[in-house]
Structure 1
Amino acid sequence: MLMSFLSFITLLLIYQLIGEWVVIQWHFAIPGPVIGMLLLLMTLLFRPPLAKEMHFHAHPFLAHFSLMFIPAGVGVMVHWPRLQAEWSAILAALLISTLLGLLVTGGIMLLLMRLFSKNRSEE
């Protein structure tokens, strides 16, 4: 029997609450919802029937996922004067972090390609 949508949402909120509790208890620098989602992922990996039940409700939920970005948009509007005052530092941080992310990702990809091609040639 499939869980109800209310059970689905409740389960998500429970995992978020556990994540928040872990962050407060052990002073982690990772956001509580991220820890909660990692715990949920581990649960779903070890309990495939639960993953199948949650799959049914996840698609309609994800169809409206763009609504989750409304608070971020409101945050930008509220802090607009600060963004205008510090736009150059924000732009530099975005560009540098994007460039570093691309370089690290490309470097890891090249390293793995060499590693896998070496393993294939040895076989």
Structure 2
Amino acid sequence: MIGAITLLLGCHLLGELFIAATGLPLPGPVVGMVILFTGLMTRGGVPDSVAQVSDTLLRNLSLLFVPAGVGVMLHLSLIEKEWLGVTAALIGSSAITVIFTALLMVGLKKLSHLGAND
């Protein structure tokens, strides 16, 4: 269990260090996930200990939204003043996400059909 947590946190740290060294405009944890994913793909699967720790973290993921909820409640008056901008940002970002996901799925579907014909 400790080894799996160390692996997850180590990948996170490597991602943060990579971003700090290169200055790329990416979140360190995202780069850490790419490092973890690459390592797991190279290994050929997810070890049971890593799967168990990951499942536990995912089951408790909702706890990470508590600080954000407190922040919203704390600054509710500011959100009330800027409701139009907040609403536009939420709708716009959601629309962009849906459009990008749809385009990505269409592209991947075409790519998988090209690979199947080879």
TM-score, length basis structure 2:
0.72
Q: Structure 2 regions of 5+ residues with no counterpart?
A: none
**Residue 37 of structure 2 corresponds to residue 41 of structure 1:** yes
Q: Distance in 1 between matches of 2:102 and 2:36?
A: 30
Displacement of 1:92 in angstroms is 0.6
The CA RMSD over aligned residues, in Å, is 2.9
Which aligned pairs between 1:46-65 and structure 2 lie closer than 5 A? 46-48=42-44, 51-65=47-61
Aligned sequence identity (%): 33
Which has the greater radius of gyration?
A: 1
Q: Give the match for residue 89 of structure 2.
A: 93
Displacement of 1:46 in angstroms is 0.7
Q: Distance in 1 between matches of 2:45 and 2:106?
A: 38
Q: Distance in 2 between matches of 1:35 and 1:111?
A: 24
Conserved 8 A contact 2:5-2:50 = no
Displacement of 1:44 in angstroms is 0.8
Displacement of 1:47 in angstroms is 1.2
Q: Distance in 2 between matches of 1:102 and 1:75?
A: 27
Q: Deviations over 1:61-93 (max 9, x none)?
A: 322221122222233234434323322111111
Displacement of 1:41 in angstroms is 0.9
Q: Give the match for residue 24 of structure 2.
A: 28
Q: Give the match for residue 69 of structure 1.
A: 65
Q: Distance in 2 between matches of 1:65 and 1:80?
A: 24
**Residue 14 of structure 2 corresponds to residue 18 of structure 1:** yes
Q: 1:106 to 1:74 in 2, by over 3 A?
A: same
Q: Structure 1 regions of 5+ residues with no counterpart?
A: none
2:8 alignment partner AA: L
